[in-house]
Structure 1
Amino acid sequence: MNSILENYEVKDNTFDEVIMELKKKNSYYHGVMDKFSEMEKNEFKSLNEAAKLSFLNQGVTYALYTKEKSEEQIFPFDLVPRIINHDEWEVLERGVIQRNTALNMFIHDVYNDGKILKDKVVPAELIKSSVHYCKSMEGFSPPKNIYCHISGTDLIRHSDGNYYILEDNLRSPSGVSYVLINRQAMTRVIPKIFNNTPVEAVSDYCEELLKALWGVANKPLGEIFCALLTPGAYNSAYFEHTYLAQKMGIELVEGRDLFVENDKVYLKTIGKKIQVDVLYRRIDDAYLDPEVFKADSMLGVPGLMRAYLKGNITIVNAPGTGISDDKAVCAFVPDMIKYYLDEEPILNNVPTYICEKPEELKYVLENIEKLVVKPVDLSGGYGVCICDQMSKAELDVLKEKIKANPREFIAQPKMMLSTHSTFIEESEQFEARHIDLRTFTLMGGDKPFVLKGGLTRTALTKGSLIVNSSQGGGSKDTWVIKE
């Protein structure tokens, strides 16, 4: 056993990715963990501090929300990388492309012919009752019929060693900047370890993202003007907004920087006005256009939807894509894949009980202590109830909430996320922590693109299954091994 893992503990019925890989003779984990073992503890701590300083100097922060307040913090980053071999990654890549292809076809169908609803593969009432259903999108088709140009697919690895889809993020998925910054930190802080491992690059993401934006513009290349719409400096993902805009060389704008004239969107400038052709929005539908959505929104652009529906601007991702972010709808994606593509899903969903279905509601209420209950509409780990950690009184309250509004909840069996060796500063030890994986898929260019690696998120609290940064989680660099 590698010396830094001598006192390493893994719970029963848990798939620890490092331990399982070290059992294989040809795993790249051997070389990586051996290099860490050769370091004195103070040397490793020094490298860890160097990585944190690198993040601080670049302003890589996020907002940690508690009941009392929100605090801006350095994004926690662990130097022990997660390694995924080529063959394993190839399956994941094909799986998320298949999934996102079907989801785009589904959203187009829902807002146009509605065949999948008429055939009762997906319940029409489930879609029409979603808070994210956008009536303005009915009968409209965006360029190339692409609604989700950028998607974040969350996967977990269960104790059986298999990957499962946990949820889709199709409105404005975040976190990709941390993938790119994590890689920079690794190459600067531990270059010898990184350079001795054949790792796929992630540096092409911004170039591919820009190609995806260009690919859905209604103008020739060279005449296209793109902008990234941010809610502003107080948003928890503002660092990512500024980072991506800078790397792509496009304008970073707030709603007040834009105006609509003759159903076209322009950037306010001192000189000649500039028409915006593609708007990569990082604000929710509700705030996009006060003429259509929330009338009191100060973040959006009055008239934006009018310009969009007349084909004078492309919005990335399209309004109304949130119907597929709904966790109840997520359960039907395998059916969508079979319906639209006539294929079996490459990646399985986490089994899901839809509380709006009477028979599934009955099961949930009778077996709630074995399940994880989630609101269909929240992200960031908010509202998640891991029921075997709750008291009887708390479970009784939760049951009443579900019975009062079953449409708003789904339940899943408790999936034991895989664990990974992680350096814990408080104990100064390498300890097992639960992880997941967010992959990033781009549609709109010549062909679908999946960032080779994605964001491995780490639950830094011992035993916790909540990996989200907004609740104190951190991240790792994800190394996909070249063929």
Structure 2
Amino acid sequence: MRYTDGSIRPTYKEVVEWIESQSADKVVALNHEATESFYKKGITFTVYTDASNTERVIPFDIIPRIIELKEWRVMEAGCAQRIRALNAFLHDIYHKQDIIRAGIIPAAQILANDCFQPWMLNVDLPGHIYAHISGIDLVRHGDGMYYVLEDNLRTPSGVSYMLEGRSISQQLMPGLFAKNNILGVEQYPALLKQTLIESTHVEDPMIVVLTPGRFNSAYYEHAFLAREMGVPLVSGQDLFVDGAEVFLNSVAGKQKVDVIYRRLDDPFLDSLAFRPDSMLGVSGLMSAYRAGNVTLANAPGTGVADDKSVYPFVTDMIDFYLGEKPILHNVPTWQCRKPDDLKYVLSHLPELVVKEAQGSGGYGMLIGPKASKAQLEEFRRKLIAEPDAYIAQPTLALSVCPTLVEEGVAPRHIDLRPFVLSSPTQVRTTPGGLTRVALTAGSLVVNSSQGGGIKDTWVIDLDSDTHTGADLGKETATLTGADV
């Protein structure tokens, strides 16, 4: 909110005035009202490791995180560049494997990866798009630069939190919202649907959202997006394959399905191709997919590109496939599969963050500076026993944002997840995306499963008084890859 000399950042001028004009009780009441709104709408998430209280309302902080438009444009371009390179990488590894032949990435790191799907070999996808919906996790470091923490290309979630958070901000702070030129995010469902339409050759395609069911941690989001797009929300038992085509059993009878926005993981998609015990997917789905009769978003096998052991090579991919310099940079990463890297990590364990290569949700992590001796020794044993399963990174000085906590307004660490939509014709990035906040003092873990919350993210144009937030959102949403 302020520069180091104490002066207010221009983007936060109206917010500071608003906070100073409110009583502490009023701001607390607004935060409680936001939580109540989330609860009434059923916006919850599941903590699978907590048997006593598995379903929770995600904490929402009323004080927005604000980014100036010119700063956002750099992040937007960097995210689009990164996704273009990752899609090119996925097409390559399932076809000619030029990046392996060039010696940039070891073959074993790709071909022996648990997420590599032989079913995808030589399957030609429209526009070579594998990751239609992506989430890029960014952090701002103490040097003022943004770094990519990780890429999420499988079934990234959180966009419903972004949309509902914006709705709540507008409802609870209408005056403050009206004073700022804030880029809109409300058009995301329409743009998602347009992206799915553009990803198939079928005119007026039948689109469905495939969910594993109401016990999934992100079920609210599945239902929300299906409703907002005006398409059916289905489970595996609603679909069937006949003659290498996918159909929906509906009250209107048998309907051919052209696009499936799937929200379940690869192993459960097709019991004939992957896990034979899966009751969540559609038997024979991969046969229809390989025949080109249905589009899956995201494509099976995308997980190999967001594996944390592949993450260090993304900057090389940008150069290799696009011939460009990376706009956004990676965090320096030690791959514990390499003997020299492992030796360094073991000798500097109290200083580093260690992550599972296949981990997510903040689980399976060690934050060295915050860890006990017992935790350090436990991870030391894990690293020695299975070094290929881990990577390590330095502990970054993540930026903070004013956050309402029990003792008042205090700084809490944050990250940012912009959502990127990719089709054969366009790359669209939602302005700002989802800000996640570590509500525990000093914590660097922002995941909701680990006690984190969310904030509305405002991208503000300080140089224009002629556009509304909705207008700005439309302008940003229609940027093509070439424009970026």
Amino acid at match of 2:163: L
- State the shift of 1:363 in Å: 1.1
Amino acid at match of 2:460: I
Query: Whole-Å Cα distance in 2 between the matches of residues 128 and 359 of structure 1?
Result: 23
- State the shift of 1:393 in Å: 3.8
Query: Whole-Å Cα distance in 2 between the matches of residues 84 and 77 of structure 1?
Result: 18
Amino acid at match of 1:471: Q
**Aligned residue-pair number:** 462
8 Å contact kept, 1:369–1:387? yes
Question: Are residue 477 (structure 1) and residue 456 (structure 2) matched?
Answer: yes
Query: Whole-Å Cα distance in 1 between the matches of residues 11 and 274 of structure 2?
Result: 51
Map of 2:60 onto structure 1: 77
- State the shift of 1:25 in Å: 6.2
1:436–1:22 Cα change, 3 Å: farther
Match of 1:404 among 385, 389, 404: 385
8 Å contact kept, 2:126–2:424? no
Match of 2:258 among 258, 262, 277: 277
- State the shift of 1:146 in Å: 0.3
- State the shift of 1:123 in Å: 1.2
Query: Whole-Å Cα distance in 2 between the matches of residues 69 and 22 of structure 1?
Result: 47
Question: Are residue 168 (structure 1) and residue 147 (structure 2) matched?
Answer: no
Map of 1:464 onto structure 2: 443
Residue by residue, what CA displacement relative to the aligned partner does 1:127-146 show, whole Å, maximum 9, x if unpaired? 11211010110111211110
- State the shift of 1:185 in Å: 0.2
8 Å contact kept, 2:127–2:424? no
Query: Whole-Å Cα distance in 2 between the matches of residues 25 and 35 of structure 1?
Result: 13
Q: Secondary structure at the match of 1:273?
A: strand
8 Å contact kept, 2:11–2:67? no
Q: Secondary structure at the match of 2:10?
A: coil
Match of 2:86 among 89, 103, 114: 103
- State the shift of 1:46 in Å: 2.3
Residue by residue, what CA displacement relative to the aligned partner does 1:163-195 show, whole Å, maximum 9, x if unpaired? 100000000000001111001000000100011
Match of 1:446 among 419, 422, 425: 425
Map of 1:360 onto structure 2: 341
- State the shift of 1:446 in Å: 3.2
Query: Whole-Å Cα distance in 2 between the matches of residues 461 and 201 of structure 1?
Result: 30
Residue by residue, what CA displacement relative to the aligned partner does 1:269-313 show, whole Å, maximum 9, x if unpaired? 244310100000000001000001110001000000000000000
Query: Whole-Å Cα distance in 1 between the matches of residues 239 and 63 of structure 2?
Result: 44
1:303–1:166 Cα change, 3 Å: same
Map of 1:374 onto structure 2: 355
Query: Whole-Å Cα distance in 2 between the matches of residues 464 and 268 of structure 1?
Result: 48
Map of 1:302 onto structure 2: 283
Map of 2:44 onto structure 1: 61
Considering only aligned residues, what root-mean-square deviation do their CA atoms show, in Å? 1.4
Match of 1:434 among 391, 413, 430: 413
- State the shift of 1:81 in Å: 0.4
1:218–1:282 Cα change, 3 Å: same
8 Å contact kept, 1:52–1:74? yes
Q: How does 1:28-67 map to 2 (within 5 A)?
A: 28-67=11-50
8 Å contact kept, 1:127–1:133? yes
Map of 1:254 onto structure 2: 235
- State the shift of 1:24 in Å: 5.6
Map of 2:472 onto structure 1: none
Query: Can you give the 5+ residue segments of structure 1 that lack an aligned partner in the other structure?
Result: 1-17
8 Å contact kept, 1:208–1:445? no
Query: Whole-Å Cα distance in 2 between the matches of residues 439 and 363 of structure 1?
Result: 33
Q: Secondary structure at the match of 2:160?
A: helix
Query: Whole-Å Cα distance in 2 between the matches of residues 298 and 472 of structure 1?
Result: 31
- State the shift of 1:22 in Å: 8.5
Map of 1:416 onto structure 2: 397
Report the TM-score, using the length of structure 2 for normalisation.
Answer: 0.93
Query: Whole-Å Cα distance in 2 between the matches of residues 431 and 26 of structure 1?
Result: 17
Q: How does 1:211-226 map to 2 (within 5 A)?
A: 211-220=194-203, 222=204, 224-226=205-207
- State the shift of 1:403 in Å: 1.7
Residue by residue, what CA displacement relative to the aligned partner does 1:426-471 show, whole Å, maximum 9, x if unpaired? 33x0011110000100001631000001000001111111100111
Query: Whole-Å Cα distance in 1 between the matches of residues 376 and 27 of structure 2?
Result: 44
Match of 1:206 among 174, 189, 195: 189
**Range with bigger deviation, 329-338 or 269-278:** 269-278
Question: Are residue 146 (structure 1) and residue 129 (structure 2) matched?
Answer: yes
Question: Are residue 286 (structure 1) and residue 228 (structure 2) matched?
Answer: no
- State the shift of 1:21 in Å: 8.3
Query: Whole-Å Cα distance in 2 between the matches of residues 478 and 26 of structure 1?
Result: 16
8 Å contact kept, 2:128–2:424? no
Match of 1:131 among 105, 111, 114: 114
Q: How does 1:330-369 map to 2 (within 5 A)?
A: 330-369=311-350
Query: Can you give the 5+ residue segments of structure 2 that lack an aligned partner in the other structure?
Result: 464-484
Query: Whole-Å Cα distance in 2 between the matches of residues 23 and 98 of structure 1?
Result: 35
Q: Secondary structure at the match of 2:103?
A: coil
- State the shift of 1:89 in Å: 0.2
Map of 2:138 onto structure 1: 155
Amino acid at match of 2:39: L
8 Å contact kept, 1:355–1:406? yes
**Range with bigger deviation, 49-58 or 261-270:** 49-58
8 Å contact kept, 2:420–2:427? yes
